[in-house]
Structure 1
Amino acid sequence: MSASPTLNNLDGIATIYPHEPDHFSIIRAQIEQRAGLVKTWNIQPGERVLEIGCGQGDCTVVLATAVGDEGFVTAVDPASLDYGSPYTLGQAQSHLRDSAVGHRIKFVQADPIAFLQSSTEHYTTAVLAQCSWYFAAPHVFSDILAALLDRVDRVCISEYALTSSDYRAMPHILATFAQATLECRKTTSTANVRSLLAPERLRAAALAAGLAVRAETIMQPPEGMLDGTWEAGYVLSKGFEEEVDKYVSDEREKAVYTAAMDSIRATRDVLKAKGDRVHTMDIWVATFAKPT
């Protein structure tokens, strides 16, 4: 087992995250963004962190790096272990368990609220890193905050801001609304965007749960982060078009989806002609705690 990485060695963290050699730059950008979150939240050595919606563990590995050998990360996600690509949750989590920081991590496949109700452990920090849009409905976010209230000292949240400091990210925002609107027509979903919540609504939910804002900022993602490219690409895919045909019958409503796709395609083509690509939208980063 190699030596444990540090937050000052992002290449070292990215190296132990599962990836194909020719995809290292993609993973490196993801790790850079997660490290930016962890530094902004000021996660300290020795902390006991509960991560909600850990997915494949790209934020988990950075959190485990930050807390050191005296700390620990409990990473919870309800998704099936065969969910995800190019590595499933099961594959990625197994890989990280065997890594240099694996002894600092416990992965739990469980509904977050059920998990909290089944244990009494207290955590210094709860982290929800760009996971709220995966929730089945907006109330799930509020329910999780209520369950966390007496179990953590503070709650750290990040989510896409639905703003674009960089015009190249506008297709990402359009793609997000197109996906979210379509998912509203489904009774169940495994899509990346299921409950679309802007920072204002996330902040309001936290305040309603009894938390107070300690800090918040808007972060611009690294140049190499490809989430915007991927989401725009999905909305322009044949699969998304087939989903629209399946779930939308009204001619006027279908025209809205077509217009979104046309706008994304046209903007992507303009960027491509300039030797560029679609970028990722801004990210809202906040810290909450119970009022003193």
Structure 2
Amino acid sequence: MDHRLDLVSFWGITPGSRVLEIGCGQGDCTIVLADAVGESGHVDAVDPGAPDYGAPYTLSQSQSYITSGPLGHRISFYNAHPTDYLSSLPQSTQKYDYVVLSHCIWYFSSPSQLSTLVSATCSWTKSLCVAEWSLRASKPQSHPHVLTALLLASLEAKRKEEGHGNIRTVLSPAQIRSVTESSSVLRLYAQEFRVSNEGLLDAYWEVSHTLRNREKVLKALGEGGVSEKELAAMAAMYDAVNAAVGIIDGGESGVRSMDVWIAKFQAVE
């Protein structure tokens, strides 16, 4: 929760604001946004994920719990693709004070999805707020997370069908900024790299799950016709993750999430 509070504080979400959160997932950031906008504000939270996606609680279970809580009346959840949601809004709809993309870009099915989404949001807001993993590790304990993200992105790129993992399209802060500013409507207003809070477990989940499935994934790649050279490269990447974990006190339990990149883009006047 402290991590989300830090994000909202950096973005400067003010009371009375109308916020569109894209890729809200189970609502971790949605609750903090709802608190920030106050009684006179509102958060529209959109996610295309299946209602039964997620563990230990699904999107549907988490969102229902939030809706029934003290901040529920400030939030409207929508199970829809973001661009479809935006295209369905009447032109008379009041524009959003902020559009938020909080740790959702790496879930996108392809890099082009970000460009399409930025183009769709430009006419609906003057402030785009972004938070994503930075691919930067200020501490040795975060190196396995960076390596794992790149490994999973490489594996995803070899898929013929769309995957369902937490990491599907890895874009660096520089790439995200380039895509966003290519709209010629939004320009970077402020950015910051921060060491992740110790309570964030994303790295542990991704690293442990990836290493646990090493042999199964490599076997499937070999049976799927991946070349010997590519297979060797993938195996070496797994070994690099394992080696990075091996030099950390506590092994997998000592792995820490990589640094976070926070940014705010404003409309060009």
Q: TM-score range by the shorter chain?
A: over 0.9
Provide the residue aligned with 2:171 in structure 1: 197
Structure 1 residues without counterparts, runs of 5 or longer: 1-30
CA distance in 2, matches of 1:144, 1:162: 22
Provide the residue aligned with 2:153 in structure 1: 180
Provide the residue aligned with 1:8 in structure 2: none
Provide the residue aligned with 2:125 in structure 1: 152
Q: Deviations over 1:134-193 (max 9, x none)?
A: 111111111111011111121001111101111110000110011111111222111111
Provide the residue aligned with 1:166 in structure 2: 139
* 2:29 corresponds to 1:59: yes
CA distance in 2, matches of 1:177, 1:192: 13
183-192 or 33-42, which moves further after superposition?
A: 183-192
Q: Deviations over 1:62-86 (max 9, x none)?
A: 1011111111000000011001111
Show structure 1 runs of 4+ deviating over 4 A. 273-276
* 2:9 corresponds to 1:39: yes
3-state SS of paired residue (1:221): coil
Provide the residue aligned with 1:135 in structure 2: 108
3-state SS of paired residue (2:44): strand
Among candidates 165, 180, 188, match of residue 206 of structure 1: 180
CA distance in 2, matches of 1:237, 1:244: 12
Q: Deviations over 1:173-218 (max 9, x none)?
A: 1100111111112221111111111010100011111211111111
Aligned residues: 261
Q: 2:21, 2:46 within 8 Å by CA — same for their partners in 1?
A: yes
Q: How does 1:267-286 map to 2 (within 5 A)?
A: 267-273=244-250, 277-286=254-263
CA distance in 2, matches of 1:212, 1:153: 10
Q: 2:46, 2:82 within 8 Å by CA — same for their partners in 1?
A: yes
Q: 2:173, 2:261 within 8 Å by CA — same for their partners in 1?
A: yes
93-102 or 223-232, which moves further after superposition?
A: 223-232
Q: 1:48, 1:71 within 8 Å by CA — same for their partners in 2?
A: yes
3-state SS of paired residue (1:214): strand
Q: 2:245, 2:251 within 8 Å by CA — same for their partners in 1?
A: no
What letter is aligned with 2:176? L
Provide the residue aligned with 2:231 in structure 1: 254
Among candidates 210, 215, 219, match of residue 241 of structure 1: 215
CA distance in 2, matches of 1:60, 1:244: 37
CA distance in 1, matches of 2:193, 2:215: 33
Q: CA deviation at 1:286?
A: 0.6
CA distance in 1, matches of 2:81, 2:244: 39
3-state SS of paired residue (1:194): coil
CA distance in 1, matches of 2:167, 2:253: 25
Q: CA deviation at 1:264?
A: 1.9
Q: 1:235, 1:241 within 8 Å by CA — same for their partners in 2?
A: no
Q: 1:219, 1:283 within 8 Å by CA — same for their partners in 2?
A: yes
Mark the CA change 1:275 to 1:290 in structure 2 (over 3 Å): closer, same or farther. closer
Q: 1:182, 1:244 within 8 Å by CA — same for their partners in 2?
A: no
What letter is aligned with 1:64? A
3-state SS of paired residue (2:138): coil
What letter is aligned with 1:271? I
3-state SS of paired residue (2:249): helix
Provide the residue aligned with 1:216 in structure 2: 191
3-state SS of paired residue (2:43): strand
Q: 2:248, 2:255 within 8 Å by CA — same for their partners in 1?
A: yes
245-254 or 222-231, which moves further after superposition?
A: 245-254
Q: CA deviation at 1:276?
A: 6.3
Q: CA deviation at 1:245?
A: 2.0
3-state SS of paired residue (1:271): coil
Q: CA deviation at 1:250?
A: 2.0
Mark the CA change 1:273 to 1:135 in structure 2 (over 3 Å): closer, same or farther. closer
Q: 2:136, 2:146 within 8 Å by CA — same for their partners in 1?
A: yes
259-268 or 162-171, which moves further after superposition?
A: 259-268
Provide the residue aligned with 1:14 in structure 2: none
3-state SS of paired residue (1:152): coil
* 2:22 corresponds to 1:49: no
